[in-house]
Structure 1
């Protein structure tokens, strides 16, 4: 396997800063990169801030900045069956070039959690696997790719053009939301919901299926059971039900964990 110059530089930096772990952790360079590069598909996961706090067990830790008014990025996740490596460091300086965009499109909605800490976690968990692809072969390239994809998929405009707007009074059929998104995404997406305190289904996340080259869709033969199991792994909610209506709740900055009460 041939590694690009970004990865070679990153490994050198990791050695210099002591970030490479022992072989017991699976973090020797050759082993890790071969293991974590064995993926074909990705998920771009977008989250709706209006519903985000509903899914939290601790209702006191959620805070939605007033500047956040649209879908935000939860992560760009290679779908692989192994684990990524925490031996590829990321520093705040790596992202300064795009920090204004990240602050708006990929914010932390957890009170007291610095945005960079959220980005660092996503890089360690997912970006280090994505980084073996040349187009995402550094922290900056990885986050630039996510921002570009988020801008490409203008979910709010598609929903509004179909008459789907955030509301506490109006709910929508699964098929109506799905039909609206199909014009932009085809059938390459999953809808994820959380249940609020009154038993209502609230749309929280949209998971968009992408190929490794960042184009929409994933090869049919790769969309197996393992892919879908990983797609929901450690998610805060569940697949949106098709037999009941779904609420697309508004953002409530003052009472984010009970946006419709």
Structure 2
């Protein structure tokens, strides 16, 4: 084999290795169902939210994830399609908190980045968004609802971390959520709550990836505003 042939073989082997490695990252072993508290998101935004926030946790996304290694993103998929029958519900439970006139842009981004990698169990775009609606509404995985059942209402009061965690565990078969807080000169606020499920979306699991030590998003033990 000549020098040119050797270069060709090395190139082909390298390309095959890259293909194998890239395809192996598409798998996932659990889902993160992340919801954001609108007033806190707007309070900590570098630019003002265009619309007044509702005192609700609404959907940020449903993300196929891996307990170890990279999460799948941007898998090959069909072109995003408008969802006229689902959009009225999505506008309520899954708005772009920063600017609701761009809701569809937000949904499209979530589909291409995360939803396109959620098969199985979610087979296509309609199945993905319809499942989120059912999780939030029919299956009562709405964090605002879960907290309210434990008499934790959005009154701007300071809460203990253990009270928030226990309230959420009461709605997730005692499985640990992932909480995200942010702090400024005025307050520490609960910004996001993530509920975790197995890769088939059939049961809750303990969220396996807490924020690392030193992260600015770790919630303190006390004085969390909600």
- CA gap of 1:64–1:247, structure 2 versus 1, over 3 A, is same
Kept in 2, the 8 Å contact 1:43–1:77? The answer is: yes
Normalising by structure 1, we get a TM-score of 0.68
Separation in 2 of the partners of 1:195 and 1:108?
22
Deviation at 1:183, TM superposition (A): 1.1
The reply to whether residue 136 of structure 1 matches residue 115 of structure 2 is: no
Deviation at 1:158, TM superposition (A): 3.0
Alpha-carbon displacement from aligned partner over 1:183-237 (angstroms, at most 9, x marks no partner):
1111231111111331x2101111001111113333x7xx7xxx51xx659xx96
> Larger relative contact order (C-alpha < 8 A, sep ≥ 6)?
1
- CA gap of 1:147–1:36, structure 2 versus 1, over 3 A, is farther
Normalising by structure 2, we get a TM-score of 0.77
User: Which residue in 1 is equivalent to 2:218?
Assistant: 239
The reply to whether residue 77 of structure 1 matches residue 98 of structure 2 is: no
Partner SS state of residue 123, structure 1: helix
- 1:1-261 residue pairs with structure 2 within 5 A? 34-56=23-45, 58-60=46-48, 62-64=49-51, 68-80=54-66, 81-85=70-74, 87-93=76-82, 95-111=83-99, 114-130=102-118, 132-133=119-120, 135-151=121-137, 152=139, 153-168=141-156, 170-185=157-172, 186-198=174-186, 200-218=187-205, 227-228=208-209, 238-242=217-221, 244-248=222-226
- CA gap of 1:216–1:239, structure 2 versus 1, over 3 A, is farther
CA RMSD between the two structures? 2.9
Q: Which protein has the larger Cα radius of gyration, Structure 1 or Structure 2?
A: 2
- CA gap of 1:73–1:43, structure 2 versus 1, over 3 A, is same
Runs of 5+ consecutive residues of structure 1 not aligned to the other structure: 1-22, 249-261
Partner SS state of residue 85, structure 2: helix
- CA gap of 1:109–1:82, structure 2 versus 1, over 3 A, is closer
Separation in 2 of the partners of 1:89 and 1:113?
24
